[in-house]
Amino acid sequence: MPGLTTDQLFQPQSPDEWAATLLANAVVLNLPTTSWRDGDPEKTIFAVESFAFSYEDSVQSAVNQGNFLDFAASGTVPFYNVDGTTTIAPVSPDPSIAGQNPTSATTLLDTLANGKYNCFRIAATFAAGSEALININPTTYGPYAPGTYHVYNPTTQASYSNVFALTIPQSTEGVSVSNVTASSGLILVTTSVNHGLTTGEIVALVGVVGIPPLTLPTAWTVTVVSSTTFTLQGSVFSGAYAGGTGVVWLPTVAAFQADVIGAGSTSATPHTINGSLTSLVGVYCDNLGGFFGTNVESNASLANRCRLKLQSNAPAPPVAAYISVALNAQQLAPLLSTPMTIAQPITRVSLVVDPLSGGIILYCANANGIPSAGDVASLNAVIGAYAEGTGQSSIALACTATNVAAVLDVYLPSASNTAANVVLFQQALATYFGVAPIGGLTDPGGAYTNVIPIDAVLGACFAAAQASQVPVKQMQITLNASFGNISLSAEAVAVLSPAIATIRMHTVPS
């Protein structure tokens, strides 16, 4: 057989084409094909075999595409069904796309990436963090086996449960609050008597009136100012305190994680996971810090990391080596001589070479935006160990954030105006902003430079609706109350703020 082209290697023939080939060969061999009638064994066997050959051809075409990164990542192959329909199947079902590969089953791209590049897909992780449980009843609840005590975020409806066995004794009641004021923007709590706390301790404030951030029972890490005053770390003061209200409690703090793996709508900012699904009298809950999970890595990202890895094994590494090492830093950090950790994988990197010094500056971001100082410190250690050549200087810096408030208006039939679809659009926006590059996008044709194009954001929402077959009639979005693009500086990353976008659903006739 002569050499096949890549088109022939990558695309199958349909059953009709296989049937025609079989028949043509039969004619060449002088078989009495004109006397064969429908239903005769000869024609029936050909018909059945044509589908079998076409199916094998489709599988083989997918395997052939799977030998090359781009086709393994985004190639498709038609499968011809006996009912006359055609199914277009991805060569490697992408686990980051809803419905394509929900179990993250190993794909041809994974096989290529693992075997040829020693590069492994970043797995999804559960959004996790510390949850404070305030029990003001003289009762001990539990123990609850792992995964059986549930709390939730009333805004997103995402639910979370205890990671370890959990018992909730009555919280220790502390002192009464006598005043709440501002201190350099933070909330400063004054107690009626000595509070006895030390900096870093976790308290819950219950019953404070007039201070919006403390309206619900909330938990905070304190910084002690004096024997009767402390500030609440991460707080923002607002309101006017109503005298004589509020008590300081010492809550139970436990590790919780989302019930569903991945980031998306399960990521949560501090003080948003404050609803109890496991309803107990007198028990309140609140998350101290953010809960951030990781989405499973997309095919495109994995293929990109494979190519970058080619450049990361040289003694005088090219610039792409720095990017490769940064994107693999979470796996490399524990391998340092002094093992370190990176809590959230670095998923976005922008590299600048200083033309005056030759120094390399890497601006980095994770799926949630700005990485923590600890993660950046670990990243610098990893780059120093794995990327930086002799005589070369480099530094990794956290990118800056440009906050983007997104408000999406969706017009759709009443049957589709559901809470689930609200979450669908929230998740689509979170996913888009979770991967938007540092410095935004620049049109090669010069139409725009360093922007988040509003059309692209809207397109991501439409794509989500299409993938989930939500019959949207119309959609419009504002970014920071404008219908225009969002401009970024070269080292900035766009961060959804608030993290959960506002979705306004409007019912229209179907």
Partner 1 sequence: MSGIWNMAQALLPAWAQDGNFSRYMFTLGLAHDAILEKAVQGADASNPLETQTPTSLALSALDLLLTRGLTESDASFGKRLARALDDWALAGLDWMVLRQALGLVLAFTPMARTVKDVYTAAGSLDTSIWSTFVASADTTQSPARVFTGGATSHAANFDWDSLSPTTNWGSFRYWLILYAVSGNQWVNPAPYKWGAAGVTWGNWNPSWGTDQPPQTWSTLQSILKLWQRGGSWCRQIIVSFDATLFDPTQAVGGAVNPDGTFGRWSKVVSGQYVPARFASAVYCDGIY
As given in the structure block, the two tokens for residue 280 are: 């107990």
Cis ω on the peptide bond leading into residue 143 (within 30° of 0)?
A: yes
The verdict on 5 binding partner 1 (CB under 8 A) reads yes
The verdict on 38 binding partner 1 (CB under 8 A) reads no
The verdict on 78 binding partner 1 (CB under 8 A) reads no
* 392 or 414: CB nearest partner 1: 392
* 104 or 111: CB nearest partner 1: 111
DSSP result, 58-121: HHHHHHHHTTSHHHHHH-EEEEE-TTS-EEEEESS--TTSTTT-TT----HHHHHHHHHH---P
The verdict on 311 binding partner 1 (CB under 8 A) reads yes
Placement of tokens 């501002």 in the chain: 182
* 299 or 427: CB nearest partner 1: 299
Candidates 16, 40, 70, 443: give the one binding partner 1 (CB under 8 A).
Answer: 70
The verdict on 1 binding partner 1 (CB under 8 A) reads yes
Q: What is the DSSP letter of 246?
A: -
The verdict on 51 binding partner 1 (CB under 8 A) reads no
Under a CB-based contact definition with an 8 Å cutoff, are residues 409 and 475 in contact?
Answer: yes
The CB-of-357 to partner 1 minimum distance in angstroms stands at 6
Looking only at the bridges linking them, the beta strands covering 400-404 and 492-496 are: parallel
Q: Is 476 exposed, middle or buried (0-12, 13-18, 19+ CB in 10 A)?
A: middle
Q: Which amino acid is at 21?
A: T
| Interface stretch with partner 1, choices 52-60, 200-208, 256-264, 284-292 (CB under 8 A) | 52-60
* 53 or 256: CB nearest partner 1: 53
Restricted to residues 281-310, the positions that interact with partner 1 (CB under 8 A) are 306-307, 310
Q: Which amino acid is at 93?
A: P
The verdict on 360 binding partner 1 (CB under 8 A) reads yes
| Interface stretch with partner 1, choices 19-27, 150-158, 214-222, 285-293 (CB under 8 A) | 19-27
The CB-of-82 to partner 1 minimum distance in angstroms stands at 18
**Closest C-alpha to 412, from 462, 477, 471:** 471
Rounded Cα distance between 275 and 154, Å, is 6
The verdict on 375 binding partner 1 (CB under 8 A) reads no
Residues 6+ apart with CB under 8 A from 505: 410, 412, 417, 421, 422
Chain-centroid distance of CA 272 in Å reads: 18
3-class SS at 249? strand
The verdict on 9 binding partner 1 (CB under 8 A) reads yes
Over its C-alpha atoms, the chain yields an Rg (Å, rounded) of 29
The CB-of-427 to partner 1 minimum distance in angstroms stands at 32
Q: Which amino acid is at 233?
A: Q
Q: Which amino acid is at 57?
A: D
Residues 6+ apart with CB under 8 A from 218: 204, 205, 271, 274, 286
Residues 6+ apart with CB under 8 A from 5: none
Candidates 356, 373, 469, 481: give the one binding partner 1 (CB under 8 A).
Answer: 356
Q: Which amino acid is at 80?
A: Y
* 385 or 407: CB nearest partner 1: 385
**Largest distance between two CA atoms of the chain:** 107
Candidates 16, 20, 25, 105: give the one binding partner 1 (CB under 8 A).
Answer: 25
The verdict on 6 binding partner 1 (CB under 8 A) reads yes
Candidates 169, 339, 359, 484: give the one binding partner 1 (CB under 8 A).
Answer: 359
- Other Cβ atoms within 10 Å of 468 Cβ, number: 15
Candidates 144, 230, 284, 322: give the one binding partner 1 (CB under 8 A).
Answer: 322
The verdict on 320 binding partner 1 (CB under 8 A) reads yes
* 16 or 173: CB nearest partner 1: 16
The CB-of-106 to partner 1 minimum distance in angstroms stands at 19
As given in the structure block, the two tokens for residue 272 are: 């948003």
Kindly determine how many residues on this chain lie close enough to bind partner 1 according to the rule CB under 8 A: 58
Restricted to residues 380-399, the positions that interact with partner 1 (CB under 8 A) are 387, 389, 392-394
The CB-of-298 to partner 1 minimum distance in angstroms stands at 18
The verdict on 240 binding partner 1 (CB under 8 A) reads no
* 57 or 131: CB nearest partner 1: 57
Candidates 69, 268, 302, 495: give the one binding partner 1 (CB under 8 A).
Answer: 69
Candidates 22, 247, 261, 461: give the one binding partner 1 (CB under 8 A).
Answer: 22
The verdict on 316 binding partner 1 (CB under 8 A) reads yes
**Closest C-alpha to 228, from 177, 181, 173:** 177
- The site for partner 1 (CB under 8 A) is made up of 1, 3-9, 18, 21-22, 25-26, 29-32, 42, 45, 49, 53, 56-57, 60-61, 63-64, 67-71, 306-307, 310-311, 313-322, 353, 355-360, 387, 389, 392-394
